[in-house]
Amino acid sequence: MTEIDLLRSLGSIKHFTKDQTVFSQYDNGDEMYVVLKGVFGVYINTFTGFPNRVAGVEQGSFFGEMAIIDGSPRSATIISEDDGAVAVEVVGKGNFRVLLENAPNLAIKIMNTLQSRMKITADAVRDAGKKVPKLPPVFQVSEYKDAESTLKSMMMLADSVRRMNNLLAASKEEVHKAKEEQPPKDSVKLLPEGYAPYNITDHRNNKDAFRTVNVVCPYCYKLFNTHIPIYGHLGDKTETLDGRVIYSNLNILIYTNTICPNCNYTDSYVEFTKPRKHSSPPKFEGNQFANIENFTGYDRNINRTVDEAILSYYLNIDCLKRVTGGPVQYANAWIRLYWLYSDQGSKDLAKHAAKRARHYYSRYSELEMSALPLGDKMRLNAILGEMSVILGDYEEALDYYNTNIVLGKGRKIDLLTASLKRCKELKKLL
């Protein structure tokens, strides 16, 4: 029996259309997939909260193996990039053992993939300033023995990757322990002086662009259902230099935030979909984040309005003041306000939001730049450059883009080309 025949006997063949999401980052799952035809894109949420394509999985390769080895949540979003793409779904550890017993070459590929991930994670931990913990030996599969011992080896490697990922997350968490601002008391005023309602509603039918998920509030730990975007259904996209992702059939800015119906805590849906475990969850009841606008969530019977979106970002910022919010969370909220105000032509409010966004992205850059991948480093510099342009600081903007030219030298990166072009434009303004 060939490997393909074995795969077909153990799992079901699934066909995917272009832009179809197989699963999303942070989802639970107990399947791995082997690609028989087409290409699947691997997307990971960036510091801006928007997904970024980091790899492609092609014919003969696989994805989703970590969930079947150690039961961990999905570490990335997988999206089909071809019409008629085909993958075999291998379900359950029992069938996985049969696969290992009868397809040793696939077992070796999985082991080598885990080894590679462990090295990448170890390098990231070191870059973040943490000592790499003592780990078991890196297993070299020189000869195949049996499925049981191979599965144990895989689980040890997966555990090592998981431990180092947790360590990397902890090292980043430490720098965010200090609160950015003193928490306000009682009800607060969310909307700024000079704000006038826009009364603009997004009337498009967006049902196909969202899926209902059960999430946990990061503040009160209560579970509830919410809707989060399915990126494969959002149409063609473009990305601006200041990090904004624009989809052809949906204004994602209006739908980014999630509001807890129990305590009114507000944050991006990315924060609500991260897996959490709590031994003794607090029992907060009622609105813990009161505001004089009495904003407690969206009208569920109609599509959202621009005013609701703006209120949600101000409520997000207020919630971050009352809890331990990191600078990138503040920055992402402020830059989204900048984009919304710019769309409506509110220049003064847009400029104020840009100033606050640059402040917090600068703080984030000081704390995290060294630990970011190259693409995110260049993206962060471009955002800071564009905010500086908005504020009229052309020399500072030029410095950020010149840094990108140094970082991207000799590489085929779209942001390098854009940075070179921006430098020429800025030099004419100086």
- Where is the domain boundary, 371, 392, 409? 371
How do the pLDDT tens digits run along the chain, 430 residues long? 677 777 778 888 888 888 888 888 888 888 888 888 889 888 888 888 888 787 888 887 788 887 777 777 888 889 888 888 777 777 676 777 787 777 777 777 777 776 666 666 666 555 555 565 554 444 444 445 566 666 666 676 677 666 666 666 555 555 444 444 444 457 889 999 989 999 998 877 667 778 888 888 888 888 888 888 887 777 788 999 999 999 888 888 998 899 999 889 999 988 888 776 655 566 667 778 889 999 988 876 668 899 999 999 999 999 998 887 789 999 999 999 999 999 999 999 999 999 999 999 999 999 888 888 888 999 999 999 999 999 999 999 999 999 999 999 988 888 999 999 999 999 998 8
Strand partners, 210: 229
Q: Is residue 351 domain-shared with residue 220, that is, in the same domain?
A: yes
Please give the structure tokens belonging to residue 372: 């970011």
In a domain, 140, yes or no: yes
Task: Name beta bridge partners: 188.
Answer: 291
Q: Which residues, 6+ apart, have CB-to-CB distance to 276 below 8 Å?
A: 216, 218, 221
Specify whether the CB–CB gap between 111 and 136 falls below 8 A.
Answer: no
Angle at 176 between CA 175 and CA 182, to 5 degrees: 135
Structural domain for 76, as ranges: 3-174
User: What is the per-residue DSSP string for 220-282?
Assistant: T--EEEEEEE-GGGS--EEE-TTS-EEETTB-GGGG-EEE-TTT--EEEHHHHHS----SS--
The C-alpha atoms of residue 400 and residue 383 are separated, in whole angstroms, by: 9
Domain end, chosen from 151, 174, 197, is at: 174
Judge if 239 and 346 occupy the same domain.
Answer: yes
Same-domain status, 15 and 148: yes
Computed on alpha carbons and rounded to an integer, the radius of gyration of the chain in Å comes to 23
Whether residue 354 is found in the same domain as residue 222: yes
